[in-house]
Structure 1
Amino acid sequence: MSATSDDIEQPSTDELLTLALARPNEALAAARAILAEHPGPARAAVAHQAVGVVLRDFGNISDAIAELRAAARWARAARDHDRETDVLASLGVALVMSGRTRAGLSTLERAVRAADGQLTGRVLIRRVYVLWSLGRYAEALDDAQRAVDLLADGDAVWAARAYQHRAALLLAMGDTTRADRDYARCGALYAQAQQDLEYASARQERGATAFARGDMPVALAHLDDAERIVEKLGVFDAGLYVTKTTVLLAAGLHRDALTTVEYALARISEHRGSATQRSELLHCAALAAHAAGKSETARAHAREALRAFRQQQRPWWAARTELVFLQAQEHPGDGLLRRARRLSRQLDVLDPEQAISAHLLTARTAFAVGKPAVGRSHLRAAAAGRPSGLSGRVSACLAQALLAEAEGRHRAMLGACARGLRQLDAYLRTLGATELRVLASAQGSDLATLALRHAVERADARQVLQWSERWRAAALAVPQVRPPDDTPTADRDLAALRSLVSRLEEGAGPPGTPGTLQRDRRRLEDAIRRRALLAPGSAGSTARFRIRDLLAELGSATTLLELIDLDGQLIAVVVRSHRVRLHRVGPTAEAARSLAHALFALRREGGRRGVHRLDLGVIGARLEADLLGGAVPLLGDDGSIVVIPTGRLHAVPWGLLPSLRDRPTSVMPSAAAWLRSRRAAPPPDAKVVLVGGPKLSTGTAEIQALSSLYPRAEVLAHGAATAERVMAAIDGAHLVHIAAHGTFRADSPLFSALELDDGPLTVYDLERLRRAPHRVVLSSCNSAVGAPAGADELVGVVTSLIGLGAAGMVASVVPVNDPATVPFMSTVHQHLKEGCPPGEALARARGESGTHETVTRTVAEAFIALGS
C-alpha cells in the first residue's frame, strides 16, 4: 500500500496536491516554483505540503519531514485549521516511515481528533496505511471502513484511496475476492482521474491479490504494468519491489528475486529513503539470499532488518524476519531450538500461515538434537494449520506426512504426500510458462522424497516406480499452452533477437557496437522471457500413470530401466517380462564422475585431439559399472530398452555401455512421457522436411545425401533455412531432419538454440509450434543437452519438442565431427525409412559403423534416441 497524500477545496490546491501523486516530478517543480515567488501563508502551506509528500514518497524522509513541518507552520499562520490537520496526517505518515513510530501515531491521533466530515475520512486513510504497515490489521480495518463510508460519494481520487486501503486490509486478512473487487474499483477511479502513480500502486497491489489466490501469470502481468508506469514517471517505489520480490520467490525465480531486491536496496540507499521501507527490503533480501543458497548473506540481511523492525515496534515483521534468520542457520543446536520454539508461539498469534514453517523448523531441529517428543508436538501444530496460500498448504501436508511417519502411520504418511502433490498438480495447470512449471515442481520434492524413501526401505519396487513417476517430469505432464494467434510483438522480438545475434557473431558495426548490441540482446531476451512468464495455464487435466498400462505397453519385448537419485544414492527400477524389480546401484556422485569422464573422452576422440588414443571400451565399461552396477543382469540380453534417467544423468551416451551397444535403446524423462509417445498418432501425410543450417564444415553434403533418400522432401538449405520458413515447414510434419550447429545456454536454457541462416532458433521459438513434428533428427552438436532444474526436470531443445508432442527423436550429447556425421546420418535414415523406431535405427547404424576406436565410432556413440 502506498502512503497517501492530500487535498483541500480550492481548485489550485486540488491541482497541485493531486499532481503530487499523479506526476510527482511535475508537482515538485511546480511547488518549488510557487515557493520561489514567496507566496502568502495559505499558498505556502500547500506548496510545502506538496513538496513534502513527493519527497516522502521518493524516500527522502528527513527532507520530507522538514517540508511538512514548514507546511504546518504556514497553515497555522494562515489560520487554516483543515489544512493544518491535513498536513499533520501527512507528517504522521512520514514520521512512522522514518522509524519514529510513537511520534507518528501520536501525530495521526491529533489529526483524527481535529478533523470532521470528509476530512476525517482523508486523515483516517493515512492512519490505515500506518497501521497496515505495522501489522495492526484489526484496528486498520475499522479505520478503513469508516473512511469508505465517509468518502465513497465524494471526490473520486479520495474515494479511490479509501477503496485501495480497505482492499489492502482485506488482502492481508485473506479475503482475496473482496480485495480484488475493491482494487478494481479504485483502479478505475484512478485511471479516470489520471492519477498515474496511484494507479500503478493499485495495479501492484492487485498483482499481490492475484498471487495470494494462486494466479501467478496474472500477478506477474499486474506487477510488470506497475513497474512500467513507475519507471516512466521516474519514481522509486520500494513497496513495488517488496511485492515483486515476494512473487518472484514464490515462482521459484530466485535469481531474479535477488537481483530485483539488491537493485531496490541500492536505490533506496541513494535516496536516503524510508527506514520502514528499507527494513522491508532487507527482509526480502534475506528471503531471496536464503532461497538462492547464500546463507551468510541471508543471515546478515535478516540480522539488520530484525534490529530495525524491533526499533520500529513492528512485531509482525520482526517475527517473520527472525524466521528467515533461523532458517538460514547451518548447524542445528539447543540454542536454535530454544529460539525456534519461542518464535513458533509468537507466529501462532501474529501470522498463523508463517507459523507452519516455524513449527516445521522447530520440529526438524528437535529431531536433529535428539528430542523427538518436542519434534512431534511441533509437527502436530504445523499439521493443524489451515493456510490459504499454496506454499502453506504444501507445508501443512508435509508436516502431516512427517508426523505420520514419526508415529509409524505409513498409510497416513503416503496419503498426506499424495494430498500435497495434488495441490501442486492443480497449481501447475495454472502456469503456461515452461520455466515456471519446471521451477514450481521443486515444491513437491520433499513430499515425493519422503514417500520414495519409505518405498525403498520396504524394497517395494512397484511402489518405488509409482512414487518416482508421481513427481518425475511433472512439468511435461501438464498440457502445453499454445501461443495466441495475435502475437506479432513476440514474433518481432524473436526476429530482432536473431538479427542481433547474427550481427554480434559477424562482428558487424563500428567500434563500440558490440557493447550496444549486447545490451540490446539482454533487453530483448528479458522481454521475450517476461512475455512467456505471463502465459496463462491450460484447463486440461493430466493422465494418471498406471503401472498396469506400462506393463501392457512394454509387453515381453521391451525392458524399462528407471534411475532414481535418492539421498545421494542411485536406485534402479527394472521392468521386464511383467515383473518390477529394484536394485541399489551406488553413489550418484560416482556415476556423475564416470559420465563426465566418458563425455570428455567422446569430445576428445571426436575432435581428433591428443596424441594418445583413449580406450572407449574401458571407459564405457566403467560408466556401466557406476551407472547400472548389479542391475545389468536384470536387463536380460534381448529386446529393446527404455531408459528413464535422472536429470543429473540425462546426457549419457548409452551406446557406449557394453550391455546396451547392440540393443535398441531410447531415453525419456519419465515412463509416463514414454507412454504418451507410444500413443502419439502420426500425421495423416508423410511430409519430410530437411533443413541445412550455415557454417557446417561439410556445407550441404548431409542434406544432399538425405535428399536422395527422400526425393519428395521439402528442403530448406543454401540460405533458405530461415526461422520463419523452418517453423512453417516443420509444424506437424511426419519427419524432420535439421543439420545445424546447436548452442546450449546454461545461464538461460530456454535460449538454447539451433543456428539457422538468419540466426538462432530458440526454445521460445519452438514452443510456438501448433504441433510438433512426429519424429525429429537433430544432427547438431549438443542437441540432446539440457539443464536440470526443479524436481528432477530438464530444460532444453529436446524436452521442449517432447513436451509439444514429438514422439521420437535422435540427438547428440557431445559435439560431433561434421564429415563423419554425414554417412552415419544416412545410415540412420535408411533404417528410419524402413520403419524402424529411432532407438532401433540408431542401434543398427551404430552396429554398421564398426567397433574400431575411430572418429566414426565416436560419432555413433555421441547420438542417443528419445521416445518411440
Structure 2
Amino acid sequence: MESPRPRRPFDTTDDPATLVARDPVTARARAEEVLASAPAPDARAHALCTIGICQHEEGDPAAAHRTLRLAAAASGTVGPEAAALARQARLAIRALRGGPGLSGPALDRRPDPAAALLRCGVADAQRGHIPRAVAALDAALERVGPRTPERLLPALLANRGLALVYADRLGEAADDLARALALADARHLGYLRAAVLQNLGCLESRRGDTAEALRLFDEASAGSTRSRRIALRIDGADALLAAGLPEEARLRLESFGGPRAAGPLLGEAAALLVDAKHRLARGDRQAALAQARRVRARFAPDSLWAHLAGTVEWSARCLSASEPSAGVRHRTAARCAVYAPTGAAGAVRPTRDQAAAAALVDAGRHAAALRRLAADRPGHAEAAGHTRPRERAIAAEGARRALAEGRGEDLLAWLEYGRSGRGAAACRDQAWAGLLERLRDAYRRAEEGDDGALLEIGHWSSRLAAAQLHRCRSAPPRGARVLEELRDRLGGRALVSYAVVDGDCAAVVVADGRVDAHVLAPAARVEEECAKFAFDVRMGALRGEEESRGAALSARLLDGMLLGPIAEALGDRPVVVCPAPVAQELPWGRLPALRGREVCVAPSARSWLDAETVAGWAQAAGPAVLACGPRVPGAAAEAARVREILHRAGVATRSLEGPEATVAELRGSLPGARVAHLIGHGGMAPETPMLAALLFDDGPLFAYDAEMLPQAPRLAVLSACWLGMSTPAPSGAPLGMGTALLSRGAGTVVASAVPVRDWEVKGPMADFYTAVTAGTAPARAVADHLAEHGFLCMGAG
C-alpha cells in the first residue's frame, strides 16, 4: 500500500475525475467557490469539468452535458489537452446512456489512452458486449504509466472486475476488485471505494451469497450520492430476487419511491427491469412482459437495457409455456435462468456450474450434477430456505428424472439437497438481535393491552425477516455421504423421505440396506387430507373430545396414501420420517399404521444423522432446566412432578418460575443444559414460522432465539400448544421451533403439533419422564405416553 499524503479539498493539479472519486460533495462545493471568484480560464475549465462529472454522479446527465460543453469551450483557450478531457467525459456519459460514445482508431493519439480505453470498456459493458469490454479494459491496463492519474488504476480494476463477474470469471474478478479496494483506500478515494464495494456486492450476488452482497451494498451507501444509493437499492433488490425473496425485494424498490423515482433513463430503466423481475417472481407474467417491453422500446437494440429487457421477456415466455421453446437446448437450464442481476450485461444465463449441473442432469449423471451445485452457506434457516432458486429448479428436475427412472439413491440425494438440518452457525449479529428485542417488547406491551404495540408487531416482524440475510460465523463442514451413513446407523429402523415430485407425493424408503422409490398419490389430495386431519384433531383437542369421525376417516385415507404403498418395506420397524412440504403439520403418531410405533420426525436424513450423533441426554453433563411461563393452569404442578422424577434419577435441576422465567435467563441457561422442560402458552402462525414462540415473563421466546443459542439442550421438551408444527420454506425445508432447536444441536425435541390441554398432560408427561430416566428411548416413551396427545419425537429417538 502507498503511504497516505495530505490533500487539499480542491487541487487543480489533479484531474477532475480524481477529485470526484475522492469526495463529490466537497469537490463540487470547492469548484463552485472557484467559479464564483472569477478564475483564470484554466481554473474555470477545471472547475466546470469537475461540476459536470458531479452532476452525472448525482443522476442529472442532461445538466452534466451542458456543463461539460461549457468546460470544453473554456478549455479551448487553454490548450487541446484540457478540452479533450472535457469532451471525453461528455462522450463517456453519452455512451452510458446508450449513445455512440467513444470509438475510432485514434485512441493512442488522445492525451490519456488508458482513460479513453477505460471509457470504451465501460461503454461496451453497458451495451452488453462483455468480451469486447474486457478486451478494452485489458488494453487500458497495458497503457497505465507513471503519469496516469491516481484514480484511474483503481477505477480500471473496479470496472474490469465487474466485467469479469458477468463473463463468469469470478476468481479473476475477485482479485481485481480486492486490488481496486486496496488502492482506493491507500489513495483516499472514498467515493470510488463505494463503487468498488458495489461491484464486490454484485460479485457476491453472482456467487449466491446474498447476505454478503447486501452487507456490501449497505456499506457502499454510506459514502454515496443519492443516485448511487438508488442504484445500490436496485442491486440489493435484484440480489433478493435472485435469492427468491420477492417481497423483500419489493420493500427495497419502494424505499426510494419505485421505478419512476430512479432518475432519468439509466436509473429508471434498471429499476423498471428489477420491477419486471419482481412481477415475474410473483407470477404476474403479463405485467412483467409489458414492463420489459416498455424498457426495450426506449433504448437502442444493442444497449444493455434492451438486452436485459429481452431476457425478462424470454424468461416470462419460458415460464408461461408448459415446456421451454424448441430453441432452448436444455430444458433444465432454461428453467433455472429466470433471475439475473442488473449491472453489466451478460448476467442473463446461469453460472457455469449451474449450466454444467443442468447439462449433467439432462445426461442422467445425477451424482456429478450435485457436485457442481453450490453448497449451503451458514445462516438463518428461513433465509437459507429462500435462496438458490436456480439450484432448486435443477434439483427439482433431477428428482423428477430420478423418480421416473426408479433410481432411489439418486432421488434421496436430490431430496437432501437444500433441506435444512444442523450445520447453520449460531447468529451473532447484534443489529439483528436488537430488532428481535424490539419485536419481543412490542409483543409484551400488546399482552399488557397497549393497542399501539399491535401496529409495531407487523413493522418489526417485516424488518426482522428482511434483515436476517446476513452472514453468520462459519459452521463446521458436514458430511456429504448420507446414504452410506444411513446404512451404517439405521440399524433396525426404516427411514422414509417424502417429497412432492412433478405433482405427486413420492417417498424414498431406506431399510435393510435397500433404497426404493415409490410414487404414492397426487400431492393435492395428500395436502387436502392432511389439512382436514390436522384440523379435526386440533378441534377435538380444544373440545376435549376423543377422535371424531372426520378425523378417523382422514387418518385412514392418509394412512392408505402415505403408508399403505410402503407397508411391506416398513414392516413393523421403528420409523424415521422426513415429511414432504404438504405434510409438515401432521401428528404422525395418530395415523393408524404408526400408532404405538417408535416414530422420529426429522427435516432430512442428514438432520437425523446429526441428531443421532448427539442423542443420549443421560450421558451428557449439565443440569436440567425447568421453566414455567405465566398464566398456564397446572404449570407449577407439572414442573414439580418432572423435577421430582429427575431428582430421583440423580439429575440436578434448576427451576425458573415467575419473574425469574425470562427469555434473557433462558438464553443464558439453555446452552449448558442436558434437559430443558419448558412450559408455556405456545403460538405458531404458518406465515411466520420462525416467530413460533413460548410466552415467558418478559415476552415470547421465539424460534429465532433458538438460532442464537451456541448449543441447544440434548433433550428439549416443549409442553405447549402447536410447537411441533412446521411450515415449509420454498426449498421444502421445515421451519419452526423444533427444527430451530435441532439446527443448534439438540438430539431430541418433544413437542405437540396440536393444542395441549394443560391439566390433562401432567400425568402423561410424568410417565414420559419416568420411562426415559429408566432408560427407555425418547421415541418409545413418546409413542407409549404422549403421541395420543399430539406430541412428536423430533430428531433422534
TM-score normalised by L of structure 2: 0.85
Q: 1:561 to 1:29 in 2, by over 3 A?
A: same
- Give the Cα–Cα distance (whole angstroms) in 2 for the partners of residues 173 and 664 of structure 1: 54
* Corresponding residue of 2:735: 795
Q: 1:300 to 1:838 in 2, by over 3 A?
A: farther
Q: Output one character per residue of 1:482-537: Cα deviation in whole Å (capped at 9) or x when no partner.
A: 457xx6666555445433442354355xx96765786566556644x14xx32354
* Corresponding residue of 2:698: 758
* Corresponding residue of 2:535: 600
- Do structure 1's residue 826 and structure 2's residue 773 form an aligned pair? no
Q: Pick one of 150, 154, 163 that aligns with 1:160.
A: 154
Q: 1:223 to 1:441 in 2, by over 3 A?
A: closer
- Give the Cα–Cα distance (whole angstroms) in 2 for the partners of residues 247 and 445 of structure 1: 16
Q: Output one character per residue of 1:576-631: Cα deviation in whole Å (capped at 9) or x when no partner.
A: 66766665432221121111112222332333399x97654344334433443444
Q: 1:130 to 1:277 in 2, by over 3 A?
A: farther
Q: Pick one of 592, 617, 623 that aligns with 2:552.
A: 617
Residue 202 of structure 1 and its aligned partner are, at CA, apart by: 0.7
- Say whether the 8 Å CA contact 1:574–1:581 is kept in structure 2: yes
- Say whether the 8 Å CA contact 2:721–2:753 is kept in structure 1: yes
Q: 1:57 to 1:607 in 2, by over 3 A?
A: same
More divergent stretch after superposition (293-302 vs 206-215): 206-215
Q: 1:469 to 1:122 in 2, by over 3 A?
A: closer
- Say whether the 8 Å CA contact 2:445–2:453 is kept in structure 1: no
* Corresponding residue of 1:349: none
Number of residue-to-residue matches in the alignment:
775
Residue 201 of structure 1 and its aligned partner are, at CA, apart by: 0.4
- Do structure 1's residue 861 and structure 2's residue 790 form an aligned pair? yes
* Partner amino acid, structure 2, of 1:679: T
Q: Pick one of 322, 326, 338 that aligns with 2:310.
A: 322
Q: 1:209 to 1:679 in 2, by over 3 A?
A: closer
Q: 1:862 to 1:592 in 2, by over 3 A?
A: farther
Identity %: 25
- Do structure 1's residue 256 and structure 2's residue 248 form an aligned pair? yes
Residue 646 of structure 1 and its aligned partner are, at CA, apart by: 0.9
* Corresponding residue of 2:359: 399
* Corresponding residue of 1:644: 578
- Give the Cα–Cα distance (whole angstroms) in 1 for the partners of residues 449 and 355 of structure 2: 52
Q: Pick one of 385, 391, 401 that aligns with 1:438.
A: 385
* Corresponding residue of 1:662: 596
Residue 138 of structure 1 and its aligned partner are, at CA, apart by: 4.9
- Do structure 1's residue 587 and structure 2's residue 522 form an aligned pair? yes
- Say whether the 8 Å CA contact 1:22–1:198 is kept in structure 2: yes
Residue 573 of structure 1 and its aligned partner are, at CA, apart by: 4.7
SS in structure 2 at match of 1:643: strand
SS in structure 1 at match of 2:479: coil
- Give the Cα–Cα distance (whole angstroms) in 2 for the partners of residues 598 and 825 of structure 1: 24
* Partner amino acid, structure 1, of 2:734: L
| Structure in which a larger fraction of residues adopt helix | 1
Q: Output one character per residue of 1:13-67: Cα deviation in whole Å (capped at 9) or x when no partner.
A: 7497655444434444554555566666544444443333222222222232223
Q: Output one character per residue of 1:548-567: Cα deviation in whole Å (capped at 9) or x when no partner.
A: x54564445x4444433222
* Corresponding residue of 1:628: 563
Residue 668 of structure 1 and its aligned partner are, at CA, apart by: 1.8
Q: 1:469 to 1:792 in 2, by over 3 A?
A: farther
* Corresponding residue of 1:419: 368
Q: Pick one of 456, 467, 479 that aligns with 1:542.
A: 479
- Give the Cα–Cα distance (whole angstroms) in 2 for the partners of residues 477 and 452 of structure 1: 19
* Corresponding residue of 2:59: 59
* Corresponding residue of 2:90: 91
- Give the Cα–Cα distance (whole angstroms) in 1 for the partners of residues 409 and 680 of structure 2: 37
Specify every segment of 5 or more residues in structure 2 that has no aligned partner in the other structure, as ranges: 1-6, 339-346
Residue 692 of structure 1 and its aligned partner are, at CA, apart by: 1.4
- Say whether the 8 Å CA contact 2:335–2:393 is kept in structure 1: no
- Give the Cα–Cα distance (whole angstroms) in 2 for the partners of residues 513 and 162 of structure 1: 51
* Corresponding residue of 1:689: 625
SS in structure 1 at match of 2:534: helix
- Do structure 1's residue 707 and structure 2's residue 636 form an aligned pair? no
- Give the Cα–Cα distance (whole angstroms) in 1 for the partners of residues 368 and 494 of structure 2: 31
- Give the Cα–Cα distance (whole angstroms) in 1 for the partners of residues 772 and 296 of structure 2: 65
Residue 226 of structure 1 and its aligned partner are, at CA, apart by: 1.5
* Partner amino acid, structure 2, of 1:260: R
Higher relative contact order (Cα pairs below 8 Å, separated by 6+ residues): 2
* Corresponding residue of 2:4: none
* Corresponding residue of 1:372: none
Q: 1:305 to 1:698 in 2, by over 3 A?
A: farther
SS in structure 2 at match of 1:819: coil
Residue 543 of structure 1 and its aligned partner are, at CA, apart by: 4.2
SS in structure 2 at match of 1:586: strand
Residue 841 of structure 1 and its aligned partner are, at CA, apart by: 1.5
Residue 828 of structure 1 and its aligned partner are, at CA, apart by: 2.7
TM-score normalised by L of structure 1: 0.78
* Partner amino acid, structure 1, of 2:440: R
- Say whether the 8 Å CA contact 1:21–1:197 is kept in structure 2: yes
- Give the Cα–Cα distance (whole angstroms) in 2 for the partners of residues 691 and 575 of structure 1: 39
Q: Pick one of 272, 277, 284 that aligns with 2:263.
A: 272
- Say whether the 8 Å CA contact 2:422–2:610 is kept in structure 1: no
- Say whether the 8 Å CA contact 2:301–2:307 is kept in structure 1: no
Q: Pick one of 283, 288, 295 that aligns with 1:293.
A: 283
- Do structure 1's residue 499 and structure 2's residue 488 form an aligned pair? no
- Say whether the 8 Å CA contact 1:617–1:656 is kept in structure 2: no
- Say whether the 8 Å CA contact 2:577–2:601 is kept in structure 1: yes
Q: 1:288 to 1:861 in 2, by over 3 A?
A: same
Residue 698 of structure 1 and its aligned partner are, at CA, apart by: 4.4
Q: Pick one of 113, 117, 128 that aligns with 1:135.
A: 128
- Say whether the 8 Å CA contact 2:161–2:176 is kept in structure 1: yes
Q: Output one character per residue of 1:616-650: Cα deviation in whole Å (capped at 9) or x when no partner.
A: 434433443344344456644x4533323212211
SS in structure 1 at match of 2:543: coil
- Give the Cα–Cα distance (whole angstroms) in 2 for the partners of residues 599 and 361 of structure 1: 34
What does 1:721-736 correspond to in 2, within 5 Å?
A: 721-736=661-676
- Say whether the 8 Å CA contact 1:560–1:643 is kept in structure 2: yes
- Give the Cα–Cα distance (whole angstroms) in 2 for the partners of residues 313 and 124 of structure 1: 20
* Partner amino acid, structure 2, of 1:566: V
Specify every segment of 5 or more residues in structure 1 that has no aligned partner in the other structure, as ranges: 1-6, 345-354, 365-386, 405-412, 848-856
- Say whether the 8 Å CA contact 1:569–1:585 is kept in structure 2: yes
- Say whether the 8 Å CA contact 1:787–1:795 is kept in structure 2: yes
- Give the Cα–Cα distance (whole angstroms) in 2 for the partners of residues 546 and 505 of structure 1: 48
Residue 200 of structure 1 and its aligned partner are, at CA, apart by: 0.6
* Corresponding residue of 1:679: 613
- Give the Cα–Cα distance (whole angstroms) in 1 for the partners of residues 46 and 701 of structure 2: 58
Residue 110 of structure 1 and its aligned partner are, at CA, apart by: 11
- Give the Cα–Cα distance (whole angstroms) in 1 for the partners of residues 311 and 489 of structure 2: 50
Residue 777 of structure 1 and its aligned partner are, at CA, apart by: 0.9
* Partner amino acid, structure 2, of 1:132: A
Residue 333 of structure 1 and its aligned partner are, at CA, apart by: 9.3
Q: Output one character per residue of 1:198-226: Cα deviation in whole Å (capped at 9) or x when no partner.
A: 11101111233345556665444433322
- Say whether the 8 Å CA contact 1:58–1:237 is kept in structure 2: no
SS in structure 2 at match of 1:535: coil
What does 1:1-12 correspond to in 2, within 5 Å?
A: 11-12=11-12
